[in-house]
Amino acid sequence: MPNNIVSFSEATINQRGKSILKNVSFDVSEGSFVFLIGRTGSGKSSLIKTIYGDLELVGGVGNVAGYDLTRLKSKQIPNLRRELGVVFQDFKLLPDRTIDDNLKFVLKSTGWKNKKEIADRIDKVLKMVGITLNKNKYPFELSGGEQQRVAIARALLNEPKLIIADEPTGNLDPQTSQEIMQLFKSLHEKGMTLLMATHDYQMIVKFPGKIFKCENGKVFEVIAKT
């Protein structure tokens, strides 16, 4: 049986001192593709922020990549995040650095030192996401879809146990959204574990996975119609 990379039991998720989600019991098992759906403000992003240590778990039990969130110390958060690759809606690339320097920055800040190993790893992840651009281009010189591919490459750099994608197609046109979803699907088919928050229900129909919904302060599994 696969292990759970994310496991919550009767957890309480707070944002700015206010309870957003209660009694959350939710698992992401190794090798799975899990969708987290719900309207804006339903708690999807708060749950994701709790998973990567940006919000403190205030009640219940939570475990991510072997880290007990109820006992997580601030000095452990960088180590937790090395186990995760996070992809955001607005890409969050450093605007004053080239594609190459954006990716080098992540590797160097997570302990990589050998120049050849760094260059080889960057080439490998760019190839994985289908980027053949000049690495010396800046983010503003790329289309939205290209920027998101670079952001996904960045998330893959340290071979994470889990890729978390928070509304990754939210700023993209429908055609580009499809291409990005196909990329996520191909990564999943290579054995990667993915958790994707989205409000785009069309995506879920075309890319079936396990579905959890945030609604009225609760998280529950939705059985997709086949």
The reported pLDDT for the residue numbered 204 is 82
* Separation of first and last alpha carbons in the chain: 25
Sorted by where each starts, the structural domains of the chain and their CATH numbers stand as 1-83+160-226 (3.40.50.300), 94-159 (1.20.1580.10)
Higher pLDDT, 175 or 226: 175
Residue 226 has pLDDT above 60, yes or no: no
Task: Read off the amino acid at residue 165.
Answer: A
Give per-residue pLDDT as tens, 150-198: 999 999 999 999 999 999 988 899 999 999 999 999 999 999 999 999 8
Instruction: Judge whether 47 and 36 are in contact, CB under 8 Å.
Output: yes
| CB within 8 Å of 69: residues ≥ 6 apart | 50, 53, 56, 57, 62, 63
Mean pLDDT along residues 129-144: 94
